[in-house]
Amino acid sequence: MAISSIFDGGELRRQFHSAGISPNFIPFIWKYVVQNPNCDWDDITSLPSAAYPLLRSHFKPSTSSLHTVIDSSDNVTTKLLIKLQNGSFVEAVIMRYDTRLGKYGGKPRPGGPRSTLCISSQVGCKMGCKFCATGSMGFKSNLSSGEIVEQLVHASHFSQIRNVVFMGMGEPLNNYSALVEAIHIMQGSPFQLSPKKITVSTVGIIHAINKLQSDLPNLNLAVSLHAPVQDIRCQIMPAARAFPLEKLMDTLRTYQTNSGQKIFIEYIMLDEVNDEEQHAHQLGKLLETFQVVVNLIPFNPIGNLSYFKTSSEQKVARFQKILRGTYNIRTTVRKQMGQDISGACGQLVVNQPDKRSTGSAGLLTDIEDLHL
């Protein structure tokens, strides 16, 4: 039987319960492992004697290892290639921002430098989105809750992570149980991430969205909409056939009514596919009764796999102007980060670079603070 990650919280609690060990020791163990990633279990003092043989036989401080670290030329983005114990690889991306560079309501934002971690939930993905490199891999396997949390542990040794976005490899809501458990762990000691600092992105898995508000209240929901009508959505996102746009919007309306929170709408800009003025008006009419933030995402090329071209800056600006001016919808344009290391949106696909690039450091505005 495979050894579990110490961050597989459900399994750890079950084992402790069977052995009569208090679960109150679990946050203490996690904190020690985060601070001492190469520790042996005997290094942790003050545990009940029954805990040591249990930990040695069933758990590892980490079941994954950091295979490669590669920085963008400006040092703003760092991509982590992580090897799992089954030999598969996943990628996570650290993005560094400065909230003081953005504005909200016409006024400078408070705060300072912070880092956001983009996390993977699966090896590969079964959604098959034609603009996404991960979709070209097909679906390989789900990650355990521990393998999800270990990405945060690895990243924390490079930067203090303030925000987590589930926008890496995989469809998070297709790995629902592990996702929920991992986020619960991230919200507790020693990570203490506020749910408002965690964003889960989905293509629109309706039955899972219906459960999300009760299982994970107060987190941010981002929906990969990418088209204002069903036929275009199906052309670029084959999985959308299973989630009709009308039913998806009804589900989002119920979610918003119950949660009272804004929903983030992700919209990739594909030249001559979904970026014309008529598409902006269709999207505005679709969303005008919702409380949303639309994030326009310039398409990032994915080599020979690409069917698409990137929309011009002029088209993106016109699209944004229509949504903001005609429909009063808050609309941002995502800053392109990590393209040179294939760490940008839609570019995550497992490869194994053999070097670490370097460059001058700098900070960018948070993706939600741009062009406001």
The pLDDT value given to residue 343: 42
Asked whether residue 356 carries a pLDDT value surpassing 50, the answer given is: no
Asked whether residue 344 carries a pLDDT value surpassing 70, the answer given is: no
Pairing verdict, β 122-124 and 103-104: unpaired
Confidence of residue 1 (pLDDT cuts 50, 70, 90): low
Q: What is the pLDDT of residues 173-199, one digit of tens each?
A: 999 999 999 999 999 999 999 999 999
Asked if residues 234 and 276 have their Cβ atoms less than 8 Å apart, the reply is no
Please give the residue that has the higher pLDDT: either 102 or 218. 218
Q: Which residues are catalytic?
A: 91, 345
| Sign of the alpha-carbon torsion through 71, 154, 362, 116 | positive
Q: What is the pLDDT of residues 70-113, one digit of tens each?
A: 998 888 899 999 999 999 999 999 999 876 666 566 666 666 67
The pLDDT value given to residue 106: 66
Asked whether residue 131 carries a pLDDT value surpassing 60, the answer given is: yes
The pLDDT value given to residue 101: 64
Average pLDDT of 235-261? 96
Whole-angstrom distance, CA of residue 129 vs CA of residue 106: 36
pTM value is 0.88
Asked if residues 142 and 175 have their Cβ atoms less than 8 Å apart, the reply is yes
Nearest to 129 by CA among 293, 317, 337, 270: 270
12 exposed, middle or buried (CB, 10 Å; 0-12, 13-18, 19+)?
buried
Asked if residues 67 and 82 have their Cβ atoms less than 8 Å apart, the reply is yes
Select the highest-mean-pLDDT range: 68-82, 301-315, 354-368.
Answer: 68-82
Asked whether residue 337 carries a pLDDT value surpassing 60, the answer given is: no
| Sign of the alpha-carbon torsion through 8, 10, 121, 88 | positive
Whole-angstrom distance, CA of residue 202 vs CA of residue 76: 25
For residue 288, give every residue at least 6 positions away whose Cβ sits within 8 Å of its Cβ, in sequence order, or none. 327, 328, 329
The pLDDT value given to residue 336: 60
Confidence of residue 348 (pLDDT cuts 50, 70, 90): very low
The pLDDT value given to residue 360: 33
**Is the bond preceding residue 228 a cis peptide, omega within 30 degrees?**
no
Residues of the chain with pLDDT > 90, as a percent, come to: 78
Q: What is the mean pLDDT of the chain?
A: 88
Q: Can you list the domains of the chain with their CATH numbers?
A: 4-58 (no CATH), 63-347 (3.20.20.70)
Confidence of residue 341 (pLDDT cuts 50, 70, 90): very low
Whole-angstrom distance, CA of residue 250 vs CA of residue 105: 30
Average pLDDT of 224-243? 96
Average pLDDT of 130-148? 91
Q: Which of 47-61, 105-119, 192-206 has the lowest mean pLDDT?
A: 105-119
Asked if residues 307 and 41 have their Cβ atoms less than 8 Å apart, the reply is no
Confidence of residue 63 (pLDDT cuts 50, 70, 90): very high
Asked whether residue 31 carries a pLDDT value surpassing 70, the answer given is: yes
